[in-house]
Amino acid sequence: MGGHQSFPRVTLPKERVAIVTGANTGIGYETAKWIAMMGATVILACRSEDRAREAMVRMNTDFKLEKERKTIGVVDYPELSLEFMKLDCASLESVMDFVEEFKLSGRQLHVLVCNAGIGLHKQEYTGDGYELMFQVNYLSHFLLAAHLLPILKTSGEDCRIVLVSSEAHRFCEFNLDTIQGNQFNEETFGRLTFYGNSKAFQIMQMFSMNRRLKASNVTVTSLHPGMVETELPRNFQDMKTFICFTSVTKCIGKLKSPYEGAETSINAAVNPELKGVRDVYYDNCKPARIHRVVANTQNQESLWTYTLECLKKRLVISDDIIKTLEGEQVF
Ligand SMILES: NC(=O)c1ccc[n+]([C@@H]2O[C@H](COP(=O)([O-])OP(=O)(O)OC[C@H]3O[C@@H](n4cnc5c(N)ncnc54)[C@H](OP(=O)(O)O)[C@@H]3O)[C@@H](O)[C@H]2O)c1
């Protein structure tokens, strides 16, 4: 297909460790599977152990088939190096439990793919008091990345954080006064705006984190996977216009398969040519333009301050985290 870009089939050492959130289905499933099929150890960070373990079995079945087909770039291990760790992005406590368990394991971390997400959800608030899409898609991943940064920073060269955002970020309305949407009710809550906001915040996080990680071994990138046929519409079955739009997109052959949707994430995670590359938003594995609101440094910094305020109870555990976030050398 002319102009189609994918990821290079590289061989990764088993010691290279990647975490993929929401890896049990959709884009995350293919991302985790391919990074593992190229040799790395992949941790499936999922909220359901059953779904994750079932996915691990399916990944190994797919792996066997790929080996039989002699697919280029697939390693010759007897089994993929996969692990499950529980992570519920709707709970900050769950994120902290994940972090503690990972730290206790004493292992290194080279790639963190923040993929788990929900789309166009109805107005709902988490036990922590935040709008659900804000917390699942953005805030929890920010907390996870913040706590894993010291490990990424000491895991050797070329460590990467990949934020799976969306073209829906263009629907964002940046306003810290309405960021949690409490002034809206079920009817007036703009589900696309709030989804778009959560995806915009990921791109803004990329810029803010990179500013503080300059000259370090850790890079942050973000991306749009394309319009992909996954389980994402499960939360907006009642929104007939969107379901209809997805069906039409599928009919005209423009809906990507989960594998095609994962190509941009996999490329951002493994392409050796992207070592040291930061501040890029990819679409179809190529750098793409972002909306001016998310490109605005003042907005990025206001969001940064707001985010640290939301997470202050979870980030004081160690002052080192804040220092690391603020770019001070603490190791
Ligand atoms: N599909 C598209 O067209 C499209 C377009 C642009 C961007 N994206 C982005 O791509 C990413 C992956 O989406 P997808 O299309 O692959 O959707 P999906 O098939 O619905 O997969 C979403 C994954 O996120 C997990 N997840 C949801 N809530 C979670 C929570 N509270 N804690 C932990 N994990 C949670 C799901 O786990 P469960 O199975 O347990 O629910 C699942 O593993 C999302 O960030 C989405 O915003 C998708």
Only one residue has tokens 């319009």, namely 227
Q: Which helix (H) or strand (E) holds 319?
A: helix 319-325
Query: Who contacts 206 (Cβ-Cβ below 8 Å, separation ≥6)?
Result: 163, 220, 221, 222, 278, 279, 281
Q: How far is the CA of 265 from the centre of ligand 1 (A)?
A: 13
Low-confidence ranges of the chain (pLDDT < 50): 1, 330-331
**In the chain, at which residue ranges do the beta strands (DSSP E only) sit?**
17-21, 41-46, 82-86, 111-114, 159-164, 218-224, 281-283, 286-287
Residue nearest to atom 8 of ligand 1 (CA): 166
Q: What is the pLDDT of residues 100-153, one digit of tens each?
A: 999 999 999 999 999 999 999 999 999 999 999 999 999 999 999 999 999 999
Residue 1's pLDDT is what? Answer: 43
List, in sequence order, the alpha helices (H) in 81-218.
Answer: 92-105, 132-133, 140-153, 191-213
* DSSP-assigned beta bridge partners for residue 25: none
For the Cβ of 47 lying below 6 angstroms from any atom of ligand 1, the answer is yes
Residue nearest to atom 1 of ligand 1 (CA): 228
Q: How far is the CA of 234 from the centre of ligand 1 (A)?
A: 10
Q: Which helix (H) or strand (E) holds 298?
A: helix 297-310
Residue 4's pLDDT is what? Answer: 87
For the Cβ of 166 lying below 6 angstroms from any atom of ligand 1, the answer is yes
Are 294 and 203 in contact by the 8 Å Cβ rule? The answer is: yes
Please give the radius of gyration of the chain, using alpha carbons only, rounded to the nearest integer.
Answer: 19
Residue 305's pLDDT is what? Answer: 95
Closest atom of ligand 1 relative to the 258 alpha carbon: 16
Q: How far is the CA of 232 from the centre of ligand 1 (A)?
A: 6
For the Cβ of 26 lying below 6 angstroms from any atom of ligand 1, the answer is yes
Could you say which of 3.40.50.720, 3.10.580.10, 3.20.20.80, 3.40.718.10 is the CATH number of the domain covering 17-232+258-325?
3.40.50.720
For the Cβ of 48 lying below 6 angstroms from any atom of ligand 1, the answer is yes
Q: Catalytic residue numbers?
A: 195
Q: What is the pLDDT of residues 210-234, one digit of tens each?
A: 999 988 999 999 999 999 999 888 8
Closest atom of ligand 1 relative to the 87 alpha carbon: 33
CA distance to 157, 315, 323, per residue, from 114 (Å):
20, 19, 22
Q: Say if residue 122 is exposed, middle or buried (CB neighbours under 10 Å; 0-12, 13-18, 19+).
A: middle
